[in-house]
Chain A
Amino acid sequence: MASLIHCPHCGVRPSQEFSIRGDASVVRPAPEASDEAWHEYVHIRSNPHGRHREHWQHVAGCRRGLVVERDTFTHDVFSVTDGAAVAREGGR
C-alpha cells in the first residue's frame, strides 16, 4: 500500500485519508445484459499480483471517487484519475 496518494483534486495526501472499494475493471452492465455479465459484475473481482486498477475514494478530502492504478507487489502508484472522468470514457 502506498503511503501517499496524489489526489488530482487535493494534491499529495496520506493514504489513510482514502478508502478502497476494489477492482475498477468491472463496469456495471446494462439492465438487459446476460446473467453471466451481472454475476461477473457483482461477484467476481480480479486480484492480480502486479498492476491493478482500483476504485478509491478520498473520504477525508474531496470525497471524489478515484481510479488508482498501482502495483500490488511493488506498491508503485502509476496514476490517480477522477472516477467520473474514467467512467465517462467507458470505464477504461
Chain B
Amino acid sequence: MTAYRLASGGVIDRSSTLSFKFDGRAMKGHPGDTLASALLANDQLLVGRSFKYHRPRGIVTAGPSEPNALVTIGEGAATDPNTKATVAELYAGLDARSQNRWPSLKHDIGALNGLLSPFLSAGFYYKTFMWPAAFWEKVYEPLIRRAAGLGRTVLEHDPHSYEKCWAHCDLLVVGAGPTGLMAALTAGRAGLRVILADEDFRLGGSLLAETTRIDHRPAMDFAEACLAELRALPHVTIMPRTTVFGWYDDNVFGAVERVQKHVVAPQAKLPVERLWRIVAKRALLATGAEERPLVFGGNDRPGVMMAGAMRTYANRFGVAAGRSVAIFTNGSAGYGTASDLAAHEIEVAAIIDSRDAPLDAAPAGVRVIPSASVIDTRGRQRVCGLVVERAGFEETIACDAIGMSGGWNPVIHLACQRGAKAVWSPELSTFLAPDLGSGLVVAGSAAGRYSLGGCLEDGAERAARIAADLGFSTASNPLPAVGEEVDPSFTALWYSPGAKAKAFVDFQNDVHVKDLGLALREGFGHVEHAKRYTTTGMATDQGKLSAINATGLLAGMQGISPADVGTTTFRPFYTPVAFGALAGTSRDEHAAPVRKSPLYGWAEKNGAAFVDSGLWYRPAFFARHGEKTWRDSTDREVVNVRQHVGLCDVSTLGKIEIFGPDAAEFLNRLYCNPFLKLPVGKARYGLMLREDGIAYDDGTTSRLSPQHFVMTTTTALAGGVMSHLEYCAQVVWPELKVRFCSSTDQWAQMAIAGPKSRLVLQALVEDDVSDAAFPFLSAAVVTLKGGLNARLFRISFSGELAYELAVPAGLGEAVADAIMEEGRGHGICAYGLEALNVLRIEKGHVTHAEFDGRVTPDDAGFGRMVSAQKTDFIGKRLSTRYGLTAADRMQMVGLKPVETDQHIRAGAHLLREGAKASTLNDQGYVSSACYSPTLGHDIALAFLKSGRERYGERVVVWDKLSGGDTVAEICHPVFVDPGNTRLKV
C-alpha cells in the first residue's frame, strides 16, 4: 500500500461514503472525488495498458489531458468507453473497467509486444502491413484492431436522451479558475450577460489546489465567495460540467454539458448531455496552463505523475500519490509541489533538478540534486525507485512515486481552431495564442501569465476592457491581495539525457524519443508528418501532454528553434464529444420529420401497408384476406381499377397556388410547353426543364381564375420545384407580378379512377360531372353534397376515366370514407402506390424513374410538346444544342418479353442479340418494369438508342443482378389503350 487517503484536507465530503467498483473490485470514495482520486485513495495506481506495447500505465494527471487512465463506465447499452478517470465524477454505484488488456490488467498477454518492440518502430504499420494486399482485410486489420484496443463500443441502442440548445451572451468566459472568476465577476458587476463555463463539476480551477492565501483566507474560500456573488448576479449564468470544445465562425462556441453523467440512473425527463451553441459577442479564454511532462528513461512506469497533479490530489482530494515521493523538475513549480506534499507529511525522497544552480528553497530536510538527470526507473507495475545521473555518477533512490514538472504550456487549443497559428515565445519557452482580434481574448495562465496575482489581475483587466468596448461602465474594485507565491519560471528540458530505458513522449500511443529520431531520418521530420509517422499526438488525448515535447525534440534533433518546427493543427473537438450529443434529438424516427398524408387514417383503416416515400408514409397496397404477397394485392387493385373503380391517395403531390396578373406569363416561362392561353377551368400537363435542357419535373397545372393557377409537382420534387419557382420569380424575373405559396399540406387529394368513377362521383357532387359538362382536362371548384367546396380535376394517370378531387386536409378522411361508402355498390377498392405504378407503366406515363436527370423531352417522347413559338423558357436555349438532339440518343420505348413467362427488372441494360456484354455494346437501360395483370406478362419502359425506329426488333435485357438474360421485343411505350378511348368517355 503506498497511495492513500490523507487523514484530513481536500474539498471532499468525508462524512459521506460512495461505494463503487473497479474491475469488479469494491472500493469506496467520497463525494467530491473523481474516479481517479478515489482509485488512488484505494491504492489502485495501475489503470490501463498502453496502446502498442501494452505496458502497464498509471494515472498521470488530474484533468482532461490524461493519456492513460481511460476506463469503460457502465453496463450494456449504457456503456461509455474511453472515459477519463481524472475528470469522471465519482458517484455511488459507479462501475468502471480497465481497457486494452487481456485476460486481466495485471496479466496481459499483449505485453509480449514489448519484447517485440525493436520491430514495432515508427512507421511499423506502414512498413509491415503493406503486402500482400489480400492479407489486409483478413489478417492484418483484425489483428491490429484486436490488439489496439482502447475501449470497445457497444452495438446496442443508446438508451439515453440528448438535446441541443442555443445560448446568447455578451461575454463567454471559458474556465472558472482565478482568471475566469475575476473576469466573470468584473463583467457581471458591470451588467454584461455573462456565461461562465467550466468542464469541472466543482468550479475554481487551480484555486481548488492552491495553498497561497487570497485576501488573507484560503484560495478555496475565495473561489466560493466569488461564485456566491456570481450566482446572485442576475445576468450571469454559471455552467459547471460544461466543456467548451470548439470555436466557430461568428464567435459561436460549441459546448457540451454533462447533465447526468454523474448519476447511476439518469432521470428520463432530462437529457444525459446537452449540446450548446453559444453565440458570444466576446469570449475570454481562461483555460489556464498545463504542466509539461519530462522525457526521461522509464518515465511511463505507474507512479510517475505530473507534479502538479500530485499537488491537486493532495490539496483538493486529500490523497497522497505515494508515501515517499521523488520530484524531478526543471523549475520552481517542483519545489512548490514538494512543499505542499511535505505540509501533508508525505515524505519527499529527493528533488532532482536539471538546472545547474537552482535558487529555490526545498522543504526542510529534503535533499536537492541539481544538474542531474533521471535516466531510469525501477519497479514493474509501479515505481519502487529511480536512477539519477549526475556528473557521470549514477545513484538509485528509493521512492514509490515520481512527480515530474517540466514547465508550463498555456491551453490555447480553442484559440487556434480557426486557422491562426500558435506563436513561439522564446521567453516563456512555449507556444502562445496569436492576436485573434476582439472576438476571443486569452487571459491569465492561458496567455502565459502564470502567477496567481497575475491571473487575477489579467482576468479583471481584460474583462473590464471588453465591458468598456461593449459600452458598459465598470466600477474599479480593488484586486484581491495575494500571499507569497511560487515563481513559475523554468528552464526548458526536452529530453533528460542518458536514458537507460525507453523515454516516452506520448504515453497513450507508446511513442518514445527514438521513434521521433527515426521519423526524422526517414524523411518524416515535418511536425505534421512526424505526428502521423510515429502516431505521437494521435491518441484520444490528441497530444495534450505530448505535442510540445515532440516539437521540442524535433527541433533539438535538427538544431533549430521550436518556432521553426511549429505545432500540429488544432481542430475541434478539444476533448471527445459523444455522437449522441452531436445528434441530439435527431435520431431514430426523429432523424427526419415524418409526413403523414391527411388520408393516412383512411388508408390505415382500409388495411394499407405503408412504404417510406421520401419523408412521406404512403400506402403501398391494401392487402385483403387470403392475399399472400404484395403482388396478389397489387394485381387485384389494378384489375379492379381497369374494370370498376379505385380510390388512391395522391395528397403527397406538391401543390403550389400561383396568383397575379403575370401568373400565366410566369408559367409560360417555367414550362417548356405553352401556358399563356390555358383557359379558365382547364388543366394542362406541364413539363419543366432545367436550364441545361434536361427534363426537371412534370405535373398538371390548372387555371381556376384568370389570375389564379394551381400547379402540381411530383411528390419527390415538391420542395425543389418550390425553390426553383422562388428563384425564378425573385432573381431571374423580378419584374413579373406573381406571388405563390405551397399548399401541399392544405389539401387532401384523391384519385378516383376506373370506368365507374363517374357513377361514384356524381352521387357525391352537386355539379354535373358528365363528359359533356366536365370533359377531359376540366378543372373547377365544385360543391359536394352537404355544401363543402372542393376542387375537381378530370385528369388521369391510370389511363382510365378518372378524376382527382381535392378537399381541405382536415376533411379528407371524411370525404374518402364517403366515396368508399358510395362506391361499395360499384365495386370500389382502395389502391396503393404499387398499383398506381403498374397502371401508369401500362399507360406509358413517365415518373422520375424516367426523368432521371439525363433525359430530354424528346427522349421521353415529348419532343413535339416543346414550344418552338415561345421566345424564351427555362431550358429553351440549351435544349437545341448538338448533344441533346443527336439521332442516336436513347429514346423511350416499351419492352415485352418474347417468352411471356420471363421477367424484366428495372436497372437492366440492353444489348443487341449476340453482343458481348460491355460498356461499348450498351444500347440502353430499363427505367421501369412491372408485371401487367392487364396483359398477363411483364412489361417495361426503357431507354434505347434510336429506340423509336426499332419497334418490333428484339433486344437482350441483360440483368447481372438477378442473373438471367431475357429476350424482349421493342414496342410502343403505351401498352394499354393507345387511342385513349377509355379516358374520354
Interface residues of B in 171-188 (CB under 8 A from A): none
Q: Are B878 and A42 touching (Cβ within 8 A)? A: yes
Q: Which of B249, B723, B735, B871 makes the CB contact (< 8 A) with A3?
A: B249
Residue of B at shortest CB range from A4? B250
Q: Are B723 and A59 touching (Cβ within 8 A)? A: yes
Given A4-B250, A42-B692, CB of A83 within 8 Å of CB of B731: yes
With a cutoff of 8 Å between Cβ atoms, the chain A residues found around residue B570 in the complex are none
Q: Which of B691, B727, B881 makes the CB contact (< 8 A) with A21?
A: B727
CB distance from A91 to the nearest CB of B (A): 8
Give bound CA distance, A60 to B411, whole Å: 38
Q: Are B731 and A3 touching (Cβ within 8 A)? A: no
Q: Are A31 and B872 touching (Cβ within 8 A)? A: yes
Does B734 sit at the interface, judged by CB under 8 A? yes
Residue of B at shortest CB range from A2? B249
With a cutoff of 8 Å between Cβ atoms, the chain B residues found around residue A43 in the complex are 692
Q: Which of B166, B692, B732 makes the CB contact (< 8 A) with A87?
A: B732
Give bound CA distance, A84 to B727, whole Å: 9
Interface residues of B in 736-766 (CB under 8 A from A): none
Q: Are A3 and B878 touching (Cβ within 8 A)? A: no
- Give A1-18 as 1s and 0s: 1 = Cβ < 8 Å from B's Cβ atoms: 111100000000010000
Does B922 sit at the interface, judged by CB under 8 A? no
Q: Are A38 and B877 touching (Cβ within 8 A)? A: yes
Given A4-B279, A63-B726, CB of A87 within 8 Å of CB of B249: no
Does A45 sit at the interface, judged by CB under 8 A? no
Q: Are B730 and A65 touching (Cβ within 8 A)? A: yes
With a cutoff of 8 Å between Cβ atoms, the chain B residues found around residue A4 in the complex are 249-250, 252, 279
Give bound CA distance, A21 to B727, whole Å: 10
Give bound CA distance, A86 to B734, whole Å: 10
Q: Which of B249, B730, B735, B876 makes the CB contact (< 8 A) with A31?
A: B876
Q: Are B727 and A65 touching (Cβ within 8 A)? A: yes
Does B248 sit at the interface, judged by CB under 8 A? yes
- Give B208-252 as 1s and 0s: 1 = Cβ < 8 Å from A's Cβ atoms: 000000000000000000000000000000000000000011101
CB distance from A76 to the nearest CB of B (A): 9
Q: Are A84 and B731 touching (Cβ within 8 A)? A: yes
Give bound CA distance, A65 to B252, whole Å: 25
Give bound CA distance, A49 to B877, whole Å: 31
Q: Are B878 and A38 touching (Cβ within 8 A)? A: yes
Give bound CA distance, A3 to B439, whole Å: 14
Given A2-B250, A19-B723, A57-B723, CB of A84 within 8 Å of CB of B876: no
Give bound CA distance, A77 to B251, whole Å: 13
Q: Are B723 and A84 touching (Cβ within 8 A)? A: no
Q: Are B877 and A88 touching (Cβ within 8 A)? A: no
Residue of B at shortest CB range from A55? B731
With a cutoff of 8 Å between Cβ atoms, the chain B residues found around residue A1 in the complex are 249
Give bound CA distance, A87 to B730, whole Å: 8
Q: Are A87 and B734 touching (Cβ within 8 A)? A: yes
Does A92 sit at the interface, judged by CB under 8 A? no
CB distance from B246 to the nearest CB of A (A): 10
Q: Report which residue of A3, A64, A86 has the largest number of chain B beta carbons within 10 angstroms of its beta carbon.
A: A3
Give bound CA distance, A6 to B732, whole Å: 23
- Give A62-81 as 1s and 0s: 1 = Cβ < 8 Å from B's Cβ atoms: 01110000000001010000
CB distance from A5 to the nearest CB of B (A): 9
- Give B863-895 as 1s and 0s: 1 = Cβ < 8 Å from A's Cβ atoms: 000000001100011100100000000000000
- Give B711-732 as 1s and 0s: 1 = Cβ < 8 Å from A's Cβ atoms: 0000000000001001100111
- The size of the chain B interface, using a CB distance under 8 A, is 23
Residue of B at shortest CB range from A39? B878
Q: Are A57 and B279 touching (Cβ within 8 A)? A: no
Given A1-B249, A2-B249, CB of A28 within 8 Å of CB of B732: yes
Give bound CA distance, A75 to B878, whole Å: 35
With a cutoff of 8 Å between Cβ atoms, the chain A residues found around residue B727 in the complex are 21, 55, 57, 65, 83
CB distance from B420 to the nearest CB of A (A): 11
Give bound CA distance, A78 to B336, whole Å: 52
Give bound CA distance, A64 to B723, whole Å: 9
Given A31-B877, A42-B691, A63-B726, CB of A88 within 8 Å of CB of B734: yes
Q: Are A31 and B726 touching (Cβ within 8 A)? A: no
Give bound CA distance, A28 to B236, whole Å: 52
Given A31-B872, A65-B726, CB of A3 within 8 Å of CB of B734: no
Residue of B at shortest CB range from A63? B726
CB distance from A15 to the nearest CB of B (A): 8
- Give A34-48 as 1s and 0s: 1 = Cβ < 8 Å from B's Cβ atoms: 010010011100000
CB distance from B144 to the nearest CB of A (A): 36
With a cutoff of 8 Å between Cβ atoms, the chain B residues found around residue A57 in the complex are 723, 726-727
Residue of A at shortest CB range from B168? A12
CB distance from B34 to the nearest CB of A (A): 33
Q: Are A3 and B250 touching (Cβ within 8 A)? A: yes
Q: Report which residue of B250, B878, B881 has the largest number of chain A beta carbons within 10 angstroms of its beta carbon.
A: B250
With a cutoff of 8 Å between Cβ atoms, the chain B residues found around residue A28 in the complex are 691, 732
Give bound CA distance, A8 to B277, whole Å: 23
Q: Report which residue of B252, B731, B734, B872 has the largest number of chain A beta carbons within 10 angstroms of its beta carbon.
A: B731
Q: Which of A42, A59, A84 makes the CB contact (< 8 A) with B734?
A: A84
Give bound CA distance, A14 to B166, whole Å: 10
- Give B48-79 as 1s and 0s: 1 = Cβ < 8 Å from A's Cβ atoms: 00000000000000000000000000000000
Q: Are B250 and A65 touching (Cβ within 8 A)? A: no
Give bound CA distance, A87 to B248, whole Å: 32
Give bound CA distance, A88 to B735, whole Å: 8
With a cutoff of 8 Å between Cβ atoms, the chain A residues found around residue B249 in the complex are 1-4, 75
Give bound CA distance, A28 to B279, whole Å: 38
Give bound CA distance, A65 to B876, whole Å: 23
CB distance from A71 to the nearest CB of B (A): 11
With a cutoff of 8 Å between Cβ atoms, the chain B residues found around residue A82 in the complex are 730
CB distance from B725 to the nearest CB of A (A): 10
- Give B761-781 as 1s and 0s: 1 = Cβ < 8 Å from A's Cβ atoms: 000000000000000000000
With a cutoff of 8 Å between Cβ atoms, the chain A residues found around residue B692 in the complex are 42-43
CB distance from A79 to the nearest CB of B (A): 15
Q: Are A3 and B248 touching (Cβ within 8 A)? A: yes
With a cutoff of 8 Å between Cβ atoms, the chain A residues found around residue B878 in the complex are 38, 42
Give bound CA distance, A55 to B735, whole Å: 18
Q: Report which residue of A41, A43, A75, A84 has the largest number of chain B beta carbons within 10 angstroms of its beta carbon.
A: A84
With a cutoff of 8 Å between Cβ atoms, the chain A residues found around residue B726 in the complex are 57, 63-65
Give bound CA distance, A14 to B249, whole Å: 11
With a cutoff of 8 Å between Cβ atoms, the chain A residues found around residue B691 in the complex are 28, 41-42
With a cutoff of 8 Å between Cβ atoms, the chain B residues found around residue A59 in the complex are 723
With a cutoff of 8 Å between Cβ atoms, the chain A residues found around residue B277 in the complex are 3, 14
Residue of B at shortest CB range from A73? B419
Given A42-B692, A42-B878, A59-B723, CB of A65 within 8 Å of CB of B731: yes
6 interchain residue pairs of minimum CB distance? A3-B252, A31-B872, A84-B734, A4-B250, A65-B730, A84-B730
- Could you name 17 residue pairs across A and B whose Cβ atoms are closer than 8 Å? A3-B250, A4-B249, A4-B250, A14-B166, A19-B723, A31-B876, A38-B877, A42-B691, A42-B878, A57-B723, A59-B723, A63-B726, A65-B726, A65-B731, A83-B727, A86-B731, A88-B735
B residues adjacent to A (C-beta < 8 A): 166, 248-250, 252, 277, 279, 691-692, 723, 726-727, 730-732, 734-735, 871-872, 876-878, 881
A2-B250, A28-B732, A31-B872 known; 16 other A-B pairs, CB under 8 Å?
A: A2-B249, A4-B249, A4-B279, A21-B727, A43-B692, A55-B727, A64-B730, A65-B726, A65-B727, A65-B731, A84-B730, A84-B734, A86-B731, A87-B734, A88-B734, A88-B735
